[in-house]
């Protein structure tokens, strides 16, 4: 990562504090008594403090001797790069040991055997320390005390503790209402105080260092938002910046804490997309609006959830690299609040590693990690020398947290989610009712966990669905009434999109985790119930379907966050994926003769548009606007879909049947949205769907009896 040029003079006070200045890789290598390749590797692997220049006419890199000496001290026993121990911490270039086989400097050539022996002992001690640090776990906390702060209906999120440790600010979302910012006492009774009044969503509050102001975001969490400031007791707010696009990933319920104050109280760190497929962290001055970029992720990566040490020298953040994948990074900042070297990734505690918070007095880190949505709290050493350790809290999932640096108090957001599979009878005789009717829903697959995305088999005798009722997302199959559910257990975790049956009902196609970290396509045979991976590429696959002849599969997939529809062979290793349609995110069905696909794409208004796209090309036919991408079901005779009114959210909706030749018939209008997703039994008598219970979340206070 390139850093803006440092204009300080080596002879200035600042330069003298940092020692002498070295103005090239060659000079840095000579000072450390190593070759250029070695010190360049140290910069990449162990954050060697080498700086970069951007002004024309200046050399590419420079470094200060004092910073190099300090770095050498810190590397004693470093598990990241053991060979650094060969350079005795605190020594200068004239007294360090040389590499084996290299000609030693003159000063070292005159060193006594006794000094060489002592250096060897030092090396052994450092390497022993490295092994110890690599394996050690964080020190025991003692008993952890947990008690609820909130228990209101609805959902609380984005907690942040005031600088004096007495209050917590958070965003509250009541049923059918926008999110608003509330402040309440952590201890004692009393109602929370609403400090904002706008009708739009307001979220991600964070206290200023002096406790007088709160910064927050206003707008659609998955769209474009504005940054605002308001007095801690409420009042008229002030807009600081507009046009902020926090992140594109669909993780708005999990990702929080999108803001962080710099200790100077003059700047706020905010995530913003530099382009549609990339998001960085920026420092925004609250008076001038000046923006300074702080992180430089790769393409299709998004940096979110910043937090800082009390002196502003350490920036923690979450780097999202997939729908279910993220990592925690540490970025050092210099005295001017600019990046100092490259960020360092911490060992993961799960596939998703979010909301990093510093436990400053313990030199540890608190993260919410696991496999989505099953996140729990973990702690680990800040230097990455030990493995993450679970806090061991039994109960609801932990998805966000806040830490009061001085007291060590923690406030965590707990979350409970549930989804069940329902069935409702379709009208088979007579004309539809003139007025909307309420669907009669019957629960057929229910648990205290998540059961989603059911699909009928071609003969209607079975239902395949995705469930984590045993603690991990897996593929399940029941009979047509939801009885006798059987788990098709895999060694990996299955993704949530609906599975797809082969034409003869002997196989199931679905998506799941792959070693590469992105979702890939699998086919499981009912005789063995085990899956074979049929794709091996860099695409992040979503829902997939067999082609009309079973030789291929079609899948909506993301290539660096850009979605298209791809076709690939149904046999493993038979060929690479081929892009067939651009701009579509989901494939709902295949026309029985293979002439086209039923696909969906998001509209500019945030809705889902169902269309028929001929293959290999032709005039696209728009069919309807849907609530969700899976609200359509394709049969050999035609396509069923739940059309929504563009001006009404969720309901009323109308169930249609359209033949592949284009004849459309309205079957019934429903006054209430039946559920998310649609699958129709082959005899046309029943529809099955998913009822998603709105997540319920509260705030929990955590304290340790030992610090």
Dihedral angle sign, alpha carbons of residues 614, 619, 624, 630? positive
CA distances from 54 to 26, 120, 292, 343 (A): 19, 41, 15, 19
Dihedral angle sign, alpha carbons of residues 286, 291, 292, 296? positive
**pTM assigned to the model:** 0.68
For position 252, what pLDDT does the model report?
62
CATH architecture for segment(s) 418-692: 6 Propeller (2.120)
Structure tokens at 586: 């989901």
For the domain 146-411, what is the CATH superfamily, name and number?
TolB, C-terminal domain (2.120.10.30)
CA distances from 606 to 149, 405, 498, 543 (A): 35, 40, 22, 20
Closest residue by Cα to residue 403 from 354, 356, 438, 371 = 356
350-382: pLDDT as tens digits:
889 999 999 988 889 999 998 877 888 999 999
Distance CA 33, CA 226 (A): 51
Please indicate whether residue 204 or residue 248 has the higher confidence score (pLDDT): 204
**pLDDT-based confidence at 204, cuts 50/70/90?**
very high
State the average pLDDT over residues 472-490: 93
For position 487, what pLDDT does the model report?
94
554-585: pLDDT as tens digits:
999 988 778 999 999 999 988 899 999 998 99
Please indicate whether residue 399 or residue 332 has the higher confidence score (pLDDT): 332
Structure tokens at 428: 């088979």
**Omega before 373 cis (within 30°)?**
yes
- Show the beta-strand stretches assigned E in 484-561: 486-488, 500-501, 507-513, 519-525, 531-533, 540-546, 552-559
> Are 146-411 and 418-692 the same fold in CATH?
yes
Distance CA 707, CA 703 (A): 10
Distance CA 148, CA 169 (A): 15
CA distances from 551 to 386, 512, 548, 569, 594 (A): 48, 21, 8, 6, 11
State the DSSP code for 428: -
Kind and range of the H or E run holding 285: strand 278-285
What is the chain's Cα-based Rg? Answer: 29
Beta strands 664-670; 653-659: pairing state: antiparallel
**Omega before 412 cis (within 30°)?**
no
Residue ranges per domain, the chain? Answer: 13-135, 146-411, 418-692
Distance CA 233, CA 214 (A): 9
Structure tokens at 320: 């999202």
Q: What are phi and psi of 205, to 5 degrees?
A: -75, 145
47-101: pLDDT as tens digits:
788 887 644 444 478 888 888 887 777 665 443 344 443 333 333 333 232 233 3
State the average pLDDT over residues 397-423: 88
Q: What are phi and psi of 703, to 5 degrees?
A: -140, 145
- Find out whether 624 and 639 touch, Cβ atoms under 8 Å: no
């Amino acid at each position: 990562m390139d850093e803006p040029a440092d204009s300080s003079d080596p002879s200035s006070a600042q330069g003298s504090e940092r020692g002498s200045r070295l103005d090239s890789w060659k000079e840095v290598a000579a000072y450390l008594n190593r070759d250029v390749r070695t010190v360049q590797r140290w910069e990449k692997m162990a954050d060697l403090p080498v700086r970069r220049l951007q002004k024309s006419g200046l050399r590419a890199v420079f470094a200060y001797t004092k910073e190099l000496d300090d770095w050498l001290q810190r590397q004693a026993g470093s598990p990241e790069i053991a060979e650094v121990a060969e350079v005795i911490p605190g020594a200068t270039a004239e007294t360090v040991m040389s590499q084996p086989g290299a000609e030693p400097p003159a000063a070292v050539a005159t060193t006594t055997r006794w000094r060489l022996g002592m250096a060897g002992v030092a090396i052994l001690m450092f390497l022993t320390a490295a092994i110890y640090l690599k394996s050690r776990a964080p020190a025991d906390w003692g008993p952890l005390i947990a008690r609820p702060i909130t228990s209101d209906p609805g959902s609380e999120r984005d907690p942040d503790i005031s600088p004096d440790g007495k209050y917590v600010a958070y965003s509250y979302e009541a049923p059918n209402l926008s999110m608003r910012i509330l402040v309440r006492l952590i201890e004692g009774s009393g109602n929370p105080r609403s400090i904002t009044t706008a009708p739009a969503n307001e979220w991600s509050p964070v206290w200023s260092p002096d406790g007088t102001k709160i910064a927050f975001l206003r707008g659609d969490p998955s769209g474009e938002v504005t940054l605002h400031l308001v007095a801690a007791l409420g009042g008229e707010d002030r807009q600081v910046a507009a046009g902020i696009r926090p992140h594109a990933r669909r993780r708005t319920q999990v990702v929080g804490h999108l803001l962080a104050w710099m200790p100077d109280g003059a700047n706020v760190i905010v995530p913003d997309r530099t382009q549609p497929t990339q998001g960085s962290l920026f420092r925004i001055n609250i008076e001038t609006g000046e923006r300074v970029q702080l992180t430089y992720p790769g393409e299709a990566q998004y940096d979110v959830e910043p937090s800082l040490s009390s002196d502003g020298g350490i920036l923690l953040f979450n780097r999202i690299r997939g729908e279910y994948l993220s990592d925690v990074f540490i970025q050092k900042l210099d005295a001017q609040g600019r990046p100092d070297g490259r960020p360092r990734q911490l060992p993961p505690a799960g596939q998703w590693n979010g909301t990093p918070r510093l436990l400053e007095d313990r030199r540890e880190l608190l993260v919410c990690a696991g496999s989505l949505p099953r996140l729990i709290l973990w702690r680990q050493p800040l230097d990455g020398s030990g493995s993450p350790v679970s806090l061991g809290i039994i109960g609801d999932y932990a998805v966000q947290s806040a830490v009061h640096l001085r007291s060590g108090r923690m406030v965590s957001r707990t979350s409970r989610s549930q989804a069940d599979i329902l069935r409702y009878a379709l009208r088979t005789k007579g004309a539809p009712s003139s007025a909307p009717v309420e669907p009669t829903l019957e629960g057929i697959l229910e648990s205290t966990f998540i059961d989603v995305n059911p699909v009928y088999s071609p003969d209607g005798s079975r239902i395949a669905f995705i469930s984590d009722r045993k603690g991990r997302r897996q593929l399940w199959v029941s009979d047509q009434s939801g009885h006798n559910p059987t788990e098709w257990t895999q060694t990996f975790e299955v993704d949530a999109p609906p599975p797809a049956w082969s034409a003869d009902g002997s196989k199931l196609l679905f998506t799941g985790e792959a070693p590469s970290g992105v979702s890939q396509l699998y086919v499981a045979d009912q005789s063995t119930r085990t899956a074979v991976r049929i794709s091996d590429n860099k695409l992040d696959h979503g829902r997939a379907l067999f082609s009309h002849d079973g030789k291929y599969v079609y899948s909506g997939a993301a290539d660096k966050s850009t979605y298209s529809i791809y076709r690939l062979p149904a046999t493993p290793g038979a060929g690479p994926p081929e892009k067939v349609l651009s701009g579509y995110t989901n494939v709902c069905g295949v026309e029985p003769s293979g002439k086209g696909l039923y696909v969906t794409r998001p509209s500019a208004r945030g809705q889902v548009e169902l269309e028929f796209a001929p293959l290999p090309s032709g005039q696209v036919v728009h069919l309807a606007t849907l609530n969700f991408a899976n609200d359509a079901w394709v049969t050999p005779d035609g396509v069923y879909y739940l059309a929504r009114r563009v001006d009404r959210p969720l309901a009323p909706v109308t169930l249609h049947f359209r033949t592949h030749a284009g004849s459309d018939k309205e079957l019934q209008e429903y006054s209430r949205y039946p559920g998310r997703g649609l699958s129709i039994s082959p005899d046309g008598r029943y529809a099955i769907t998913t009822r998603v219970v709105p997540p319920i979340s509260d705030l929990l206070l955590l304290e340790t009896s030992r610090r």
